[in-house]
Chain A
Amino acid sequence: GNSVTQMEGPVTLSEEAFLTINCTYTATGYPSLFWYVQYPGEGLQLLLKATKADDKGSNKGFEATYRKETTSFHLEKGSVQVSDSAVYFCALTYMNRDDKIIFGKGTRLHILP
């Protein structure tokens, strides 16, 4: 079945460090891929998405590229801030009307000032 695997956390970095959170997926065909972010005490919100191979999603300095050859969608940011501390979820779904969204387990990120 379809699944998403992301690196386990927590990940602790200093402010201005480079961030990578790995995400790989198992799926047939061409799913859409997403990164969601959950700030403390809040619900999940979409961070970025890519709907086809080689697409790059970007938002708030974060980027991820849809790599079909490696079935990956790694999240990167060049210089993290304390305000980026949150839990990050990689996810996939298909553009069909009744396909569920499959989430990874989430990676908690702590940024130290």
Chain B
Amino acid sequence: DSGVTQTPKHLITATGQRVTLRCSPRSGDLSVYWYQQSLDQGLQFLIQYYNGEERAKGNILERFSAQQFPDLHSELNLSSLELGDSALYFCASSSHDRLNTEAFFGQGTRLTVV
């Protein structure tokens, strides 16, 4: 168990809809990352938050947005969903202290857009 919790584990929704994915980082970790994993694109970095502030943006579509709340949990909002958005969405957290820079991943949310 990595200590990172993602909900829901599975999500099936229709095109055009909007969904929210939730992530609770490991206790004490300030950084949260979101990644999208699809068969053809591999692991794509979407966005990073550090202590509530956006720190880095990757290949995140304008239809997607995220935020990190004061209690450090994060949500990824996906809107106007398309078939191609079907993928595994991973959240990871890290503390970024000097000796512990690695990320800890949740089990992922499998999104299926039909």
How many residues on the A side are at the interface (Cβ–Cβ under 8 A)?
A: 24
Please name the residue on chain A nearest to B4 by beta carbon: A43
- Interface pair B107/A43, CB less than 8 Å apart: yes
- Shortest distance between the CB of A47 and any CB in chain B (Å): 10
A17 located at the interface, meaning its Cβ lies under 8 Å from any Cβ of chain B in the complex: no
Residues of chain A within 8 A (CB-CB) of B105 are 36, 43-45
Specify the chain A residue showing the minimal Cβ separation from B91.
A43
Tell me whether B107 and A96 are in contact (CB under 8 A): no
Tell me the minimal C-beta distance from A7 to chain B in angstroms.
13
- Tally of B interface residues using CB under 8 Å: 28
Given contacts A32-B101, A100-B55, contact A106 B33 (CB under 8 A): no
Contact B94 A101 (CB under 8 A): yes
Interface membership of B96, Cβ < 8 A: yes
> What string of 1s and 0s marks CB contacts (under 8 Å) between B71-114 and chain A?
00000000000000000001010101011011111111000000
A98 within 8 A of B: yes
- In the complex, are the beta carbons of A93 and B45 less than 8 A apart? no
